[in-house]
Amino acid sequence: MRALLLASLLATAAAQANELRLNQLGFLPGSAKWAVAEGAKAGEFRVLQGQREVLRGKLQSTTKLADFSALKTPGDYELQVAGLAPVKFRIAADAYAELGRAALKVFYFNRASTALPAEFAGPWARPAGHADTEVEVHPSAASPSRVVGSKISSPKGWYDAGDYNKYTVNSGITTWTLLAAHEHFPAFFQAQKLAIPESANALPDVLDEALWNLDWLLTMQDPADGSVANKLTNLHFDGIVMPHEAKAPRYLVGRSTSAALNFAAVMATASRVFKEIYPERASRMRSAAESAWRWAQANPALLFKNPTGVSTGEYGDAKLDDEFAWAAAELYVTTGDASFWQAFLAKAPKPGVPGWADVGQLGWISLAHHREQLGAEADRALILQRNRELAAELTQRWKDSAWRTGLRDADFGWGSSGQALNQALVLIQGRRLGGPREQLDAAQALFDHVLGRNALGRSFVTGFGVLSPQHPHHRPSEADGVVPPVPGFVVGGPNRGLDDATHCPPYPSTEPAKAYIDNFCSWASNEVAINWNAPLAYVAAALQVLK
Ligand SMILES: [Ca+2]
Ligand SMILES: [Ca+2]
């Protein structure tokens, strides 16, 4: 153990933040390629291949931006700016292939109710945790058919984040993002293998992974009335133990309108994705979506608050217009029933970057993707406009930002990496709808931020980049005795809220873009979460497809 610890310390000491900040995985041949030489005294940059100079350019603006997008030939290069340590980088058609796979493999690593054998999990193999076959109905989730203290079986699903609990609301946007990735880029995912137990079957692995959570989600619905429970959790968070060592009793907690609407949206989406593949299962998903929708119509304002005696994540949301709109949009696309278009239009959400509590844009995205199949009542011009105006706004922010990432101080809240990646996802929709190339370049820039073109000169994805998180707030990574953390997790990233500052060692900086510590204690800046990894997988795939 001491030897492992020493090795870890040495590895950490050896890794240094780049002074020249750029995407530490390199670039695709056609990518926009930018680096920041912050603080450089020199006025120009050089790119070398071996001893040969292949490009020279002027550094732009006060932040000293180097734009070497003109370089498109695959190969190994070095970026040089006088006075700063040179940095090697790569241009390759497969520069993001491994990251894209790892970003999805994370969901396998976070599966509940199953062992992870070494064949698939390598050094991060572990015994099964949380069978969740005898989950007690908490008074907050009780109904005539699910009486207090009775037990239900609710296995599978993903652990939400650094903890071992399962939440309907946050798994909603997460599962949708994986399903949308497949809807948008089916050929890419048909070819992608994740080395999971289902890699041998004919189904794309991203869909096998989505099913792991959908199977669990279906059990969260009360079959008697269509209501959906908020979460399946302990009463309190576990200690720092492996899944199989976590023995606290599990409860079905709460019922809420937001849980029912998240469930309706995701099941409606899943039912169309699986329609040809598993017709019976798809039909069951569609019925489940419709009954959850009906329950939400009859119970439109049942908000969730943690009941007394329960302190696990709340995912409370007081604004549900966006959830109604999202569920209506997905039900409309799936069923073609014009009344769902009217229900969507009644809430017509303002365009905005998606997040777990702000899901209206997901509806606009699905409507745009399926616009050719919609009925005559659908306003296609409006659907396109709502997607395009948000992409255009984010493109302008990118143009205006000193670092050319488009991020503003306000974006450095809890989960700033997820915020950046969801901004990229929105920009990608603009490009997919015929927008200019610069929308893809702006998405690339946000991806670059997550992988090293940031004020800390570090990657925020475990296992990727020259300097990456070593101590994420992720219980298995902390408790497994393996030095490297489970790879492929994007951590929350800089968070100017400093929400855990009283609990953790001091943050080296409280500047919004630098308020980060690579310490297990920091749930506010270094936790992992399924809803941040889903857009990482989406964006990695989109950049590879759209090039
Ligand atoms: Ca498969
Ligand atoms: Ca909301």
CA of 83 to the centre of ligand 1 (A): 50
* Count of C-beta atoms within a 10 Å radius of residue 363: 29
* 377-428 pLDDT per residue, tens: 999 999 999 999 999 999 999 999 999 999 999 999 999 999 999 999 999 9
Report how far residue 404's alpha carbon sits from residue 236's, in angstroms, rounded to the nearest whole number.
Answer: 42
- Residue 189: nearest ligand to its CA? 1
Is pLDDT at 5 greater than 70 in this prediction? Answer: no
Average pLDDT of the residues in 260-287: 98
Q: What angle do CA 146, 265, 346 make, to 5 degrees?
A: 110
Res 410: pLDDT: 97
pLDDT band at 61 (very low <50, low <70, confident <90, very high): confident
Res 4: pLDDT: 43
Is pLDDT at 132 greater than 50 in this prediction? Answer: yes
- Residue 358: nearest ligand to its CA? 2
Catalytic residue of the set 184, 370, 473, 474? 473
Note whether 539 and 428 are within 8 A (CB): yes
163 is catalytic: yes
Task: Give 3-state DSSP helix, strand, coil % of the chain, rounded to 5.
Answer: 45, 10, 45
CA of 437 to the centre of ligand 1 (A): 33
Integer-rounded Cα Rg, in Å, for the chain is: 23
In three-state form (DSSP H/G/I as H, E/B as E, the rest C), the secondary structure along 288-320 is HHHHHHHHHHHCCCCCCCCCCCCCCCCCCCCCC
Looking at the chain, the whole-number percentage of residues with pLDDT higher than 70 is 97
CA of 404 to the centre of ligand 1 (A): 38
Is pLDDT at 6 greater than 60 in this prediction? Answer: no
Looking at the chain, the whole-number percentage of residues with pLDDT higher than 90 is 95
Average pLDDT of the residues in 342-356: 96
527 is catalytic: yes
Is pLDDT at 289 greater than 50 in this prediction? Answer: yes
Average pLDDT of the residues in 473-478: 98
Helix (H) or strand (E) holding 393: helix 380-400
Catalytic residue of the set 163, 322, 323, 500? 163
* 28-59 pLDDT per residue, tens: 999 999 999 988 999 999 999 999 999 999 99
Average pLDDT of the chain, as a whole number: 96
Residue 228 bridge partners (DSSP): 221
Average pLDDT of the residues in 195-222: 98
34-43, 203-212, 331-340, 361-370: the lowest-pLDDT one: 34-43
Between β-strands 44-49 and 52-58, what pairing exists: parallel, antiparallel or unpaired? antiparallel
- Residue 196: nearest ligand to its CA? 1
Is pLDDT at 108 greater than 70 in this prediction? Answer: yes
322 is catalytic: no
Average pLDDT of the residues in 199-210: 97
Average pLDDT of the residues in 7-16: 49
> Per-residue b/e over 296-324, b at no fewer than 16 CB within 10 Å?
beeeeebebebeeebebbebebeebebbb
Res 9: pLDDT: 44
CA of 366 to the centre of ligand 1 (A): 24
Report how far residue 395's alpha carbon sits from residue 385's, in angstroms, rounded to the nearest whole number.
Answer: 15
- Residue 173: nearest ligand to its CA? 2
CA of 479 to the centre of ligand 1 (A): 30
Enumerate residues with CB within 5 Å of ligand 1 (an ion).
Answer: 198, 201, 203, 205, 208
Average pLDDT of the residues in 137-142: 98
Report how far residue 164's alpha carbon sits from residue 350's, in angstroms, rounded to the nearest whole number.
Answer: 34
Res 17: pLDDT: 72
pLDDT band at 15 (very low <50, low <70, confident <90, very high): low
Q: Which amino acid is at 30?
A: G
Helix (H) or strand (E) holding 152: strand 151-152
Note whether 47 and 35 are within 8 A (CB): no
518 is catalytic: yes
Res 145: pLDDT: 94
